[in-house]
Amino acid sequence: MSIAVITEQAVTNADKTFLQLRSDIVEGEIPAGGKLSETELSTKYQVSRAVIREAINRLEACHLVERRANVGARVVSLTPDGLIQLYQVREALEGMAARLAAKNMSDEEIADLTALLDNHFQTVKDGNSYYQEAGDLDFHYRIILGSKNQHLIEVLINGIYHLIRMYRVQLGMAGPRVTTAFDEHKHVVQAIANRDEELAEILMRRHILYSKNNIERKLLQS
């Protein structure tokens, strides 16, 4: 009952290649700014160029690669400012998601979310921070899905979250802040449970804003 799995089952060959490539990019096997040669990838994955092109198109759709006509596709290059901009969008969208979740989540979903947080709290109190990132992700995913807003879900889960993970991996940043994040999560859930849309949004925005500030500090250090 813990992880809110997003099932992305690949039916076609291009699907598999897309998922593989996305993983390779997000996990840094293909470095940021790196070129995606169609011929090279087609030999590497043993598929035709058409399949590779299809996959690259979808990667472009989620803003992981950029294409220039007659030149080719490159993995997006990571800049500190790019990450900040990403968090600005995330703040706006997840704030709205929290607001809508407070309105649209069923009582059962809210109960589940509360249980998840209790569970998560126990895990961390025992000194385990292993599932930390997974737990954080699960929390945010549930609220996003709880918004019941298809556009929000699409943009955040299929777009921004992969990009953020890419930044996190390649900039070698640790997961989300451990200590304070729990309380922030708890307060957001409380606001949702109280059906307080306004407060839910404010708290979620602040939660993400803190993350952003934290990241900005780390970026300035290096």
Q: Which option in a second copy, DNA, none does residue 38 bind, with CB closer than 5 to 8 A by kind?
A: DNA
3-state class (DSSP) for residue 66: strand
> Given the structure tokens 């291009």, which residue do they identify?
14
Strand (E) or helix (H) holding 204: helix 197-221
50 in contact with a second copy (CB under 8 A): yes
211 in contact with a second copy (CB under 8 A): no
* Distance between CA atoms of residues 136 and 154, nearest Å: 19
Sole binder of a second copy in the list 95, 135, 146, 176 (CB under 8 A):
95
The nearest distance, CB 47 to DNA, in angstroms, is 4
State the angle between helix axes of 197-221 and 181-193 in degrees (0 to 180), rounded to the nearest 10.
Answer: 160
The piece of 16-24, 116-124, 144-152, 213-221 that touches a second copy (CB under 8 A) is 144-152
The nearest distance, CB 9 to a second copy, in angstroms, is 10
DSSP assignment string, 125-174? HTT--TTHHHHHHHHHHHHHHHT--HHHHIIIIIIIHHHHHHHHHHTT--
* Distance between CA atoms of residues 111 and 119, nearest Å: 12
The nearest distance, CB 113 to a second copy, in angstroms, is 21
Which chain residues interact with DNA by CB under 7 A?
A: 11-14, 35-40, 47-51, 53-54, 67, 69-73
Please count the residues of this chain forming the interface with a second copy, following the rule CB under 8 A: 31
The nearest distance, CB 35 to DNA, in angstroms, is 7
Burial class (CB in 10 A: 0-12, 13-18, 19+), 159: middle
The nearest distance, CB 129 to a second copy, in angstroms, is 30
* Distance between CA atoms of residues 144 and 95, nearest Å: 9
Sole binder of a second copy in the list 7, 150, 221, 222 (CB under 8 A):
150
Instruction: Please give the residue ranges that form the binding site for a second copy (CB under 8 A).
Output: 11-12, 15, 50, 53-54, 57-58, 60-61, 63, 69-70, 82, 85-86, 88-89, 91-93, 95-96, 100, 149-152, 154-155, 160
